[in-house]
Amino acid sequence: MNAPSPDQSGSPAVELSNLAFRWRGAGPWLLEIEQFTIARGERLFIRGPSGSGKSTLLNLLGGVSVPQRGSLRVLGHDLARLGGSARDRLRADHVGFIFQLHNLLPYLSMVENVVLPCRFSALRRERAQARSGGIEAEARRLLELLDLGGELFARPVTELSVGQQQRVAAARALIGSPEVIIADEPTSSLDADRRHAFLALLMAECAAQGSTLIFVSHDGALCDEFERVVDLDSLNRAAPVEGPRA
Amino acid sequence: MRSILALALRSLWNRRFTALLTLFAISLSVALLLAVERVRTDARGSFANTISGTDLIVGARAGSIQLLLYSVFRIGSPTNNISWESYREIADHRDVAWTIPIALGDSHKGFRVLGTTGDYFRHYRYARTRELTFTAGRPFEALYDAVLGAQVAEQLGYDLGEPIVVAHGAGAVSFVEHADKPFRVVGILAPTGTPVDRTVHVSLEAIEAIHLGWESGAPLQGLSLPGRDRADLTPKSITAFLVGLDSKIKTFRVQRHINDYRKEPLLAILPGVALQELWDLMAVAERALLAISGFVVLVGLTGMLTMILAGLNERRREMAILRSVGARPVHLFALLVSEAVGLALAGAATGLGLLYLGLAAVRPFVARNYGLYLDIAAPSGYEWSLLGGVVGAAFLMGLIPAWRAYRNALTDGLTVRV
């Protein structure tokens, strides 16, 4: 694999400078960030209501979109200078995602869902194998750590509760120890008790793997549990635009 | 890429109801296409195999296809007969090895009665080199002996010894029968897949004998001439005759000799050439049929395209999840192309299965009613290429949803709000 190697181990997890992005390279700027750095291993809460440029930021961090101006470095790799497939590889190898809802492919089993990243990244497959001897064994280990053991394995993922589904998604983001975990409103569909439980499990596992956790939410209720909290509104100098793409 | 294939299969299975309907449509259309192709080639083969080993067919001067139709296929009637003298003269030509005289005009329950000689059973060939064989009995010897084609015996339920009455004229229903001179079945031929199966064979002398006293075209009332049974039964005329030559090289010379025959206007045709001419007449219909079944396959594949395209919007989240776990747009492209190709492959395979099931089911019926022997053989090279064409077309069609998914993947990003 000619994927970007994680050689820049001294560089920060994420480094933005003079970054600006607009939809299809035209229209108003959706995101303008002068300077922003996330250290490796940091657990960061980014608070932003919808329309604050949250999805845009996530797509940029995931390497799906590219900024028109400025630089965006993930683990030292300048995404603007990488081609589309190199950015896709960087995401596959080093970034795990958890979304608010519907994270799972309904036609795969719990374990099959968890090992999906290993199907697209040789690096994560190797790391998972190194850890548990096999990717499925590693998936089971993570699922059990997240309290999803035993008879649940046999059940179709569509029969899992929302909280259980979110934990499967967390296991999938964690498998193969990616350097960066990005969680986009992962707790918004959970009730208050389960939010804290879910977050505690997620943080413990991130700490165990040394992964950087970027937690994005409009709801500040969980702020207290993070080392650093950033308001996207104050970070983003572009005027907030209401709309589905913002 | 292997995991993409596995994902494509799982994803299809998740939508198995629509996928199976689509698969069903494709396999039916593929089965139809192959069936048309199979019937087409078998019909052509069976057609070309109707008569072999005969160098020339000779009849009264008319169209060559007409001569072929009545002498070989027992379709239509001759415009004129050939005199016995002319026949004998050509049969005695030094280049002629054997001849088979044919006298038509009577029938039995809709099956043509053919008057001939024992040479018919010796020299008639079909399917390149195959000879006529008997499943029961022997060639005719006595005057009122009859030999039945396989289909005649089967359809009418006749066995050896069965008395049959020959009717005057070729129709299925005749009001004038040679009831005073019944025949007796002495032989039944093995099936050949040619018009021989639908023919009742008797001797030329018998044809002559049953028409004694019919000089006016109908039996003379109250006039029975038993004594004339032993009269001279040498025919005065025959309908046509088949000629085998000593050497094929002489074919054109003998043909010219017959066509230039002065005492009577005769026509000699080469069976192979006439068969080809006749088949060419039907080739347009045959090609049209193949084209139609080709379009049916196109309809089946369009159904598949519709299914995949319609599902694409509902599957944007599925695509976004795959993107978020590291799938590149090219993976999604491959996912959708392999869905289309996978459906087409499965459709082609089940279509092939349906074809063989269908062939096995209709084979006895088609053989009995149309004299067409459908071959249950492995697919021919051309059939494989048709199947390949179906899969290739599905691949090309799969590019359309694949391209859309690719575009969506680039614009949708990781978060789809559906």
B13, B327, B415: residue with CB nearest A107? B13
The beta strands (E) that lie in B80-142 are given as 82-83, 96-108, 111-116, 125-126, 130-131, 134-137
The per-residue pLDDT for A9 is 64
A58, A88, A106: residue with CB nearest B326? A88
Contact B321 A105 (CB under 8 A): yes
Quick check: B375 pLDDT over 80?
Answer: no
Phi-psi region of A176 (alpha: psi -120 to 50; beta: other; left: phi over 0): left
Structure tokens given for B373:
């022997």
For A58, the closest chain B residue by CA position comes to B414
- Higher-confidence residue: B243 or A155? B243
| CA of B404 vs chain A CAs: smallest distance (Å) | 17
Contact A99 B323 (CB under 8 A): no
Instruction: Tell me the per-residue pLDDT of A170-201, one tens digit each, with 9 for 90 and over.
Output: 999 999 989 999 988 888 878 888 888 888 88
- Measured CA to CA, the distance from residue B116 to residue B149 in angstroms comes to 14
Strand-pairing partners, residue A35, are: A17
Contact B328 A64 (CB under 8 A): no
Quick check: B157 pLDDT over 70?
Answer: yes
Q: What is the mean pLDDT of residues B211-239?
A: 65
Q: What is the DSSP letter of A175?
A: T
Confidence category of residue A67, pLDDT binned at 50, 70, 90: confident
Measured between beta carbons, the chain B residues lying within 8 angstroms of A93 are 326
A167 touches chain B (CB under 8 A): no
Q: Which residues touch A113 (CB under 8 Å, ≥6 apart)?
A: A104, A105, A157, A168, A172
Instruction: Check the CA dihedral B245-B250-B255-B261 and report its sign.
Output: negative
Structure tokens given for A94:
């080093």
DSSP states along B312-372:
HHHTHHHHHHHHHTT--HHHHHHHHHHHHHHHHHHHHHHHHHHHHHHHHHHHHHHHHHH--
Contact A120 B413 (CB under 8 A): no
A83 touches chain B (CB under 8 A): no
For B417, the closest chain A residue by CA position comes to A244
- Measured CA to CA, the distance from residue A236 to residue A22 in angstroms comes to 13
| CA of B301 vs chain A CAs: smallest distance (Å) | 25
The per-residue pLDDT for B220 is 54
A64, A85, A109, A124: best to mutate for the B interface, most B CBs within 10 A: A64
Structure tokens given for A244:
């589905």
Quick check: B58 pLDDT over 90?
Answer: yes
The per-residue pLDDT for A2 is 43
Confidence category of residue B228, pLDDT binned at 50, 70, 90: very low
- Higher-confidence residue: B257 or B179? B257
Interface A–B counts its CB contacts (< 8 A) at: 72
- Measured CA to CA, the distance from residue A59 to residue B413 in angstroms comes to 6
For A122, the closest chain B residue by CA position comes to B326
Quick check: B223 pLDDT over 60?
Answer: no
Quick check: B11 pLDDT over 50?
Answer: yes
Helix, strand counts (H, E) of chain B: 12, 15
For B15, the closest chain A residue by CA position comes to A107
Q: Are B316 and B414 contacting, i.e. CB atoms less than 8 angstroms apart?
A: no
- Measured CA to CA, the distance from residue B52 to residue B193 in angstroms comes to 13
For A170, the closest chain B residue by CA position comes to B325
Q: A187-204 burial, b for 16+ CB within 10 Å, e for fewer?
A: beebeeebbeebbebbbe
The per-residue pLDDT for B389 is 94
Residue B350: count of CB within 10 angstroms of its CB: 17
The per-residue pLDDT for B251 is 93
A84 touches chain B (CB under 8 A): yes
Contact B325 A84 (CB under 8 A): no
Q: Which of B86, B1, B36, B113 is nearest to B337 (CA)?
A: B1
| A 98-117: CB under 8 A from B | 99, 102-108, 116-117
- Measured CA to CA, the distance from residue B94 to residue B84 in angstroms comes to 18
Instruction: Check the CA dihedral B200-B204-B205-B208 and report its sign.
Output: positive
Confidence category of residue B371, pLDDT binned at 50, 70, 90: low
Residue at A113: amino acid letter: N
The per-residue pLDDT for B186 is 94
Q: Which residues touch A240 (CB under 8 Å, ≥6 apart)?
A: A51, A52, A53, A233, A246
B321 touches chain A (CB under 8 A): yes
CA atoms within 13 A on the CB side of B204: 20
How far are the Cα atoms of A91, A148, A149, A213 from residue A165, in angstroms, in the given order? Answer: 22, 10, 13, 19
Q: What is the mean pLDDT of residues A88-94?
A: 89
For the question of whether the overall pTM of this predicted structure is more than 0.80, the answer is no
Contact A64 B331 (CB under 8 A): no
Quick check: B369 pLDDT over 90?
Answer: no
DSSP helix/strand/coil, B46:
helix
| CA of B306 vs chain A CAs: smallest distance (Å) | 21
- Measured CA to CA, the distance from residue A167 to residue B202 in angstroms comes to 90
The per-residue pLDDT for A5 is 47
CA dihedral of B184, B190, B193, B195, whole degrees rounded to 10 = -20
Q: B259-276 burial, b for 16+ CB within 10 Å, e for fewer?
A: eebeeeebbbbbbeebbe
Structure tokens given for B252:
């054109």
Contact A58 B414 (CB under 8 A): yes
Q: Are B238 and B134 contacting, i.e. CB atoms less than 8 angstroms apart?
A: no
B318, B324, B413: residue with CB nearest A55? B413
Q: What is the DSSP letter of B174?
A: -
Residue B94: count of CB within 10 angstroms of its CB: 7
Measured between beta carbons, the chain B residues lying within 8 angstroms of A104 are 321
Residue B269's φ and ψ, nearest 5 degrees, are -125, 155
Measured between beta carbons, the chain A residues lying within 8 angstroms of B331 are 120
Q: What is the mean pLDDT of residues B78-97?
A: 92
Helix A135-145 vs helix A192-209: angle between axes, to the nearest 10 degrees? 140
| CA of A242 vs chain B CAs: smallest distance (Å) | 15
Measured between beta carbons, the chain B residues lying within 8 angstroms of A184 are 415
For B318, the closest chain A residue by CA position comes to A105
- Measured CA to CA, the distance from residue A238 to residue A235 in angstroms comes to 9
